[in-house]
Amino acid sequence: MAGTAVRGRLTWQTATVGSVVSETPSVRTISLEVPGWAGHRAGQHVDVRLTAEDGYQAERAYSIASAPGEPLSITVERLDDGEVSPYLTEELRAGDEFEVRGPIGGYFVWDAADGGPLLLLAGGSGIVPLRAILRHRERLGSTVPVRLLYSSRSWADVIYRDELGRPADGVAVIHTLTRQQPPGWTGYARRVDREMIASVAWPVAQAPLAYACGPTNFVEAVASALVAIGYPPRRIRTERFGATGQ
C-alpha cells in the first residue's frame, strides 16, 4: 500500500548492528538488521540518528553500500574531529542499536532501465553508493559497460580494494592516488582533472550516463570537467557528501 511505504520511509526505525568490518584503517562497513526493511535502490542513502544518554541527538546521512536485495549496510569513514563518524567506526559493536530512516533519494540511483554505458567517479568514501550500483549491476547480470575512476589518498585508503580488484565482466576500475603511491605505481598520481576525465570517459557520442560522488569540491570539479568535455548536464548525476572526505 502506497501510504504504508511512505510512512515506512519517513519513520525512524531501530537498526541493530550485525557486524562491523574494517575496510581501511579509518573506514568500517556496518551491516544492519532492520525488521521490516522495505528494500532500497542502488545509490540511495539513509539517515542515521544517534541519541546520547542525556537525550542529545545527532543525525547524519550515509549512502547504502549494499545492492538491492542484500542486507542493509553502510560504510563510514572516520573524521577524527567529527561528531558521529568516530562513534560509528570505533565504538559500535555487534548487537548495538541506533535509528535509521530511509531509504532516501530518487535521483542518484541506477536501475537497469537507466542503461549506460556508465562512467562512475568517486572521491574517497564517495565510492559507497557507486559500489552499490556495481553490485546491483552484477547481481542483475547486466552487461552495461562501466568505467570507474576512483580517487584515494593512498593505496591503503582504497575502500573495497579487494572487491574492486576483481571487477565483473565489462567493468574497468581506474585508480588515482593523490598523496602517496606504492613503489612501482604506474597509475594516476594526482587529483582528478579535466585531462584525466577526458582520457577515461566514454565518448559523448555513446550517450554515457555519469555518476559522481564524494566531497563537495571533488564533485564540483568533476561535474565541471564533464560538462567541459561535452557531457550534457542531464546525463550527469551527482551526490555531495559535504566538505568532508579527502
Ligand X SMILES: Cc1cc2nc3c(=O)[nH]c(=O)nc-3n(C[C@H](O)[C@H](O)[C@H](O)COP(=O)(O)OP(=O)(O)OC[C@H]3O[C@@H](n4cnc5c(N)ncnc54)[C@H](O)[C@@H]3O)c2cc1C
Q: Whose Cβ is closer to ligand X: residue 58's or residue 189's?
A: 58
Residues facing residue 148 across a β-bridge: 120, 173
Q: How many angstroms separate the CA atoms of 100 and 202, rounded?
A: 37
Q: Scanning residues 156 to 195, which ones bind ligand X (CB under 6 A)? A: none
47 near ligand X (CB under 6 A):
no
Number of residue whose CB is nearest ligand X: 82
Q: Whose Cβ is closer to ligand X: residue 18's or residue 117's?
A: 18
Taking residues 12 to 41 in sequence order and writing x for each that binds ligand X by CB under 6 A, - otherwise, the string is ------------------------------
Cβ-count burial of 81 within 10 angstroms (0-12 exposed, 13-18 middle, 19+ buried)?
exposed
Options 73, 125, 142, 176; binder of ligand X; rule CB under 6 A: 125
Options 24, 29, 44, 63; binder of ligand X; rule CB under 6 A: 63
Span near ligand X by CB under 6 A; candidates 94-102, 157-165, 228-236, 237-245: 237-245
Options 53, 54, 81, 162; binder of ligand X; rule CB under 6 A: 81
The 10 Å Cβ neighbour count of residue 130 is 29
Give the helix ranges, DSSP H, for 1-93: 2-10, 85-86
220 near ligand X (CB under 6 A):
no
Q: How many angstroms separate the CA atoms of 116 and 144, rounded?
A: 6
Q: Whose Cβ is closer to ligand X: residue 34's or residue 61's?
A: 61
128 near ligand X (CB under 6 A):
yes
Options 84, 120, 121, 196; binder of ligand X; rule CB under 6 A: 84
Q: Which three cell numbers stand for residue 37?
A: 526493511
Number of residues in contact with ligand X, rule: CB under 6 A?
A: 20
DSSP for 168-223 reads: PTTEEEEEEESS---TT--SB-S---HHHHHHHSPPGGG--EEEEEESHHHHHHHH
66 near ligand X (CB under 6 A):
no
Catalogue the E-assigned strands of 10-131. 13-24, 27-33, 45-51, 57-63, 73-77, 97-104, 118-123
How far apart are CB 204 and ligand X at their closest, in Å?
Answer: 28
Q: Whose Cβ is closer to ligand X: residue 50's or residue 181's?
A: 50
Q: Are strands 27-33 and 73-77 parallel, antiparallel or unpaired?
A: antiparallel
Q: Is 78 in contact with 86 (CB distance < 8 Å)?
A: yes
Catalog residues that contact ligand X under the rule CB under 6 A: 45, 60-63, 75-77, 79, 81-85, 125, 128, 239, 241-242, 244
